[in-house]
Structure 1
Amino acid sequence: MEANLTPQQLWDCALRLLSRRDHSRRELAQKLRQRQFDPEWIEQALDRLEQQHWLADSRFAAVQVRQHVLKRHGPLRIRAELQRKGVGPAEIAQALAAEDPDWFELARLCYRARFGPDERLDMKERARRMRYLQARGFAPDHIRYALESADE
């Protein structure tokens, strides 16, 4: 740790990061650790930020879910991304339930935007398109619906 870093500098840095966008607690702690702040100071600052409602995993999760839905990502990808950023299962479930998009329709829209109207597909092309939707985070039922509704 560098000797010239103070708790006030840590606080200022944390507020600067939060002024740009919401962060999860784990994400913010990681960024502050990368800047060589004392781990004990970091925990104290994070606790204080949570008490003052400037840091909230539930709010972060809600914003992230909304952004991912706008990008036409499925629930599996959203859940994995939030877990990777340190958001707990309860907050993830709450954020997904609050947004509550029609995942089947979202998968269909995602498919149509990428592939347009369907012609007859061979098995290889159908598998490729299924992998595309799977990589976007859609469940098998959503993928099946998107492919079947595209045939109509």
Structure 2
Amino acid sequence: METADLRPAIRLAAMDLLARREHSRTELLQKLGRRFEDRETIAEVLDGLAQDKLQSDSRYAESFARQRVLRGHGPLRLRQEMRQKGIPDDDASVALESLDVDWEQLAREVCQKKFGFGAPADFREKARRQRFLQYRGFSADQIAACLPW
């Protein structure tokens, strides 16, 4: 197939992916790159989709951040995952700021859901809880605010 013939097929494949959920530009490049060899044409089609406001990294970042907060993930993990998905740092920052989340309260809720309401029995248990919250993407200040002593 010639490049001109591929554009409608690439656009249709991209629209099929976007109909299921939001995707970042990087994700679409990867997924479409498995089906179509001409990366330049894929990039042109994605530019057209972005221009038509059918694909937006900022919209994807907001949706992604909301989903991850509902799962109990902290801001550090969210930012890292967005980088891995190819979201620009400024879009990630705007998405995180738009959430209006009390990160310390979220860390407290995540910790209580996993470990219950009691205080850690000893230093080893406290360290275990700290590691868990750190893995979830909470900062040292947020962890300290939710763990007693």
Identify whether the pair has TM-score above 0.5, normalized to the shorter chain.
yes
CA 1:142–1:18 in structure 2 vs 1: closer, same or farther (change >3 Å)? same
Q: Secondary structure at the match of 1:6?
A: helix
Q: State percent identity of aligned pairs.
A: 42
Measured in 2, the distance between the counterparts of 1:90 and 1:6 equals 33
Paired AA for residue 142 in structure 1? Q
1:77 aligns with 2:90: no
The AA in structure 2 aligned to 1:48 is: G
Tell me, yes or no, if structure 1 residue 45 matches structure 2 residue 45: yes
Are the counterparts in 1 of residues 25 and 86 from structure 2 also a CA contact under 8 Å?
Answer: yes
Q: So what's the TM-score if we normalise by structure 2?
A: 0.93
- Between the aligned partners of 2:120 and 2:76, the Cα distance in structure 1 is 28
Amino acid at match of 1:129: R
Q: Report the AA paired with residue 90 of structure 2.
A: A
Measured on the aligned residues, the alpha-carbon RMSD in Å equals: 1.5
Q: Which digits, 9 at most, give the CA deviation of each residue in 1:88-115, with x for residues without a partner?
A: 0110110011112000000000000001
- Give the 5 Å matches for 1:30-41: 30-41=30-41
Q: Distance in 1 between matches of 2:6 and 2:120?
A: 65
- Report the Cα distance in structure 2 between the residues aligned to 1:142 and 1:119, rounded to whole angstroms: 16
Map of 1:22 onto structure 2: 22
Query: Please, which moves more after superposition, 136-145 or 3-12?
Result: 3-12
> Could you tell me how far 1:132 is from its partner in structure 2?
0.4
CA contact (8 A) 2:105 2:146 kept: yes
Q: CA contact under 8 A between 2:57 and 2:91: conserved in structure 1?
A: yes
What corresponds to 1:88 in structure 2? 88
User: What is the TM-score normalised by the length of structure 1?
Assistant: 0.92
**2 CA distance for matches of 1:13 and 1:72?**
33
1:2-151 to 2 correspondence within 5 Å? 3=1, 6-148=6-148
Instruction: Name stretches of at least 5 consecutive residues in structure 1 with no aligned partner.
Output: none
**Residue-pair matches, total:** 147
* Contact 2:10-2:36 at 8 Å conserved across structures: no
Q: 1:10–1:37: 8 Å Cα contact kept in structure 2?
A: no
Helix, strand or coil for the counterpart of 1:23?
A: coil
Task: State how far apart, in whole Å, the 2-side matches of 1:69 and 1:147 are.
Answer: 20
SS at match of 2:63: helix
